[in-house]
Amino acid sequence: MEVSWMCDMMCGNPAILICHCDSKSTSLCMICLSIHYSNNPKAIHVQTPISSATLQGNSLCEICNGEPEFVCLCKGNSKYLCRACRIVHIDNEPTASHYFEKIDSQEFIHCRDDIDQYLKKKKVLENIQLKLNKNIKKVSNYKEELETEKIKTLKLIENIFSRKFMEADSIENELTEMRKNIFAGQVKTKESGNWTYQPAYEISLETLEAAYENIRDIYYKIDAENLTKHIGYTSQIFYERYEEIQTEPVFLQGASHNLAKYDIARNEMNISEIEGEPFNYRSAWCVLPNGSIFLCGGQSSEGELSSTYILDQKLKTSTPVESMISPRKYHGVCYHNDYIYVFGGKFGGKLKSSERFSPIKQRWEMLPNSLYPHCHVSTLVLGNKILIAGYSRFIEIFDTDSLSYEETLYLPESTCRMSMFSMKGEIYLMIRSSLYKIDLLLSELTLIHVFDIDIILWFPSKPIENSTKIYFFSVSPAVVKLLSWGYETLYSLDLENYNLNELQVLG
């Protein structure tokens, strides 16, 4: 008699026993057994399990050829399996209904629950592996981005140093030429705007002294550039870091024509007058690469202003240019890569708006709004990033490449008494009398010292008072000077010992 190993009730499940009734044998699964009883209530039912004695096949494990312990009846086939290969078989046939029978004891085992648990664990492991693969891919992409940024930064730094070396070579050649001519008894003098060499014995003592001053100024030019430009490079943050410091800090007096320049070497404040309209108070300005001053915004008796001017320090003239899109006061302004950036300020309330001006195209364009409003703004340029702070609990970073903002640091207080500077690749923040160090990589703000006096002075509120601007400039690898002409104060700050000394400014 031929026996089928699929259920004869046509349910699609494998048969696990044979019922001998009415002179015939019926292969049944466990589910169809009760239906078979209902269909044949008067018959005498005798069941025998489908055992290894009933099956015909290989006596070895079909996967590893080891000693089999189980027979699995799935998909109408019998498979001999050892204990270890039972899991492999389940893994190979995840959708099949597996029924195992122990060969020795003929004990029938239904391991569906075990299979479900195994498949759940397997799915969890697959999800973990998928996440790991994604994270590995992200890390790999990040490493590639870092390598690309590293190459770009190194190339940029190489170009900067190459340009500086060329400038130094040019100055060195000029000084060498002067020395050669002085040894020959000739001195370089300027007549009618042209430089010429004259015999030393034919010119006056005053002209000789002026020639000496010219030599000193040429040497000081290269020395001052070394003081005012500091480029730092770290493997953690690929920023080209500049000291945002002017060789001669410049101040403008509100509601006047007065321009003041601080002479670092002589410790003197020299005041001159600029022709044109009086300077607006509560305005903002920055010094451009050619030495001229960009002045914008401010306040008059009629309200906030959008007017902008270019001040020529040599000719002492003021030239109006295209006005800003939005009037503002107490804003921040800085120069970077052929653009002048303006951030925040006040026009009624504190502003989120920002814009930039192209001196080449003579055109303004609006930028995306910052995440938080800022006024009494302090800015710091670090490579292609600009740090923005002022009257907010956050310092924001503006990316000049993507023209987007990101939140970076939460501040202990919201105040206008703050200013930022960078030295030796480190970023510092002054809030009132507290000095902090900023770690952009970890987004951490660390308090490193509290002074006895409030260094960052309150901005003046009266039109006749001076427009206060805080300058930081290095005079040695560890010493920084802080200057505020609005209150005629100058401090020398030792960053190694945190000593703060007030200096007397002449003039």
Residues 408-420 pLDDT 10s: 788 887 776 678 8
Highest mean pLDDT among 19-28, 158-167, 442-451, 473-482: 442-451
Structural tokens at position 356 = 């930039």
Give the mean model confidence (pLDDT) for residues 61-88: 75
Number of neighbouring beta carbons within 10 Å of residue 158: 10
Contact 339, 356 (CB under 8 A): yes
Give the mean model confidence (pLDDT) for residues 308-330: 92
| CA pair distance 245, 8, nearest whole angstrom | 93
Average pLDDT, the chain: 73
- Specify the pLDDT at position 423: 72
Kindly indicate the confidence band of residue 308, based on its pLDDT and cuts at 50, 70 and 90: very high
Kindly indicate the confidence band of residue 2, based on its pLDDT and cuts at 50, 70 and 90: very low
- Specify the pLDDT at position 328: 95
Contact 277, 309 (CB under 8 A): yes
> In angstroms, how far is CA 68 from the centroid of its own chain?
62
Which residue would you say has higher pLDDT here, 308 or 142? Answer: 308
Contact 270, 261 (CB under 8 A): yes
| CA pair distance 457, 89, nearest whole angstrom | 79
3-state secondary structure of 216: helix
- Specify the pLDDT at position 94: 75
Residue in the block written with tokens 């080449």: 360
Torsional sign, CA 56, 59, 61, 64:
negative
* Per-residue model confidence as pLDDT tens digits over 210-251: 666 666 555 545 444 443 333 332 222 323 333 333 446 777
SS3 content of the chain, % helix, strand, coil (to 5): 25, 35, 40
Give the mean model confidence (pLDDT) for residues 88-108: 69
Domains in the chain, ordered, with CATH? 17-116 (no CATH), 137-228 (no CATH), 250-503 (2.120.10.80)
* pLDDT of 459 higher than 90: no
Torsional sign, CA 398, 402, 404, 408:
negative
From edge to edge, which strands make up the β-sheet containing 258-263? 250-252, 258-263, 268-273
Which stretch of 49-63, 113-127, 204-218, 225-239 has the lowest confidence by average pLDDT? 225-239
* Per-residue model confidence as pLDDT tens digits over 185-207: 666 665 555 556 666 566 666 66
Which residue would you say has higher pLDDT here, 340 or 493? Answer: 340
| CA pair distance 85, 100, nearest whole angstrom | 12
- Specify the pLDDT at position 183: 58
Give the mean model confidence (pLDDT) for residues 346-366: 92
* Amino acid occupying residue 258: N
* pLDDT of 284 higher than 80: yes
- Specify the pLDDT at position 424: 66
- Specify the pLDDT at position 57: 45
Q: Which residues contact 107 (CB under 8 A, 6 or more apart)?
A: 101
**E strands present in 82-238:** 100-102, 108-109, 186-191, 194-199
Is the pTM value of this prediction over 0.85?
no
Q: How large a percentage of the chain has pLDDT more than 90?
A: 13
| CA pair distance 394, 407, nearest whole angstrom | 7
| CA pair distance 126, 227, nearest whole angstrom | 58
- Specify the pLDDT at position 366: 95
- Specify the pLDDT at position 483: 61
* pLDDT of 67 higher than 60: yes
Which residue would you say has higher pLDDT here, 242 or 299? Answer: 299
**E strands present in 211-353:** 250-252, 258-263, 268-273, 284-287, 293-296, 299-300, 303-304, 308-312, 317-321, 332-336, 339-343, 346-347, 349-350
Torsional sign, CA 366, 370, 373, 374:
negative
Structural tokens at position 355 = 């814009």
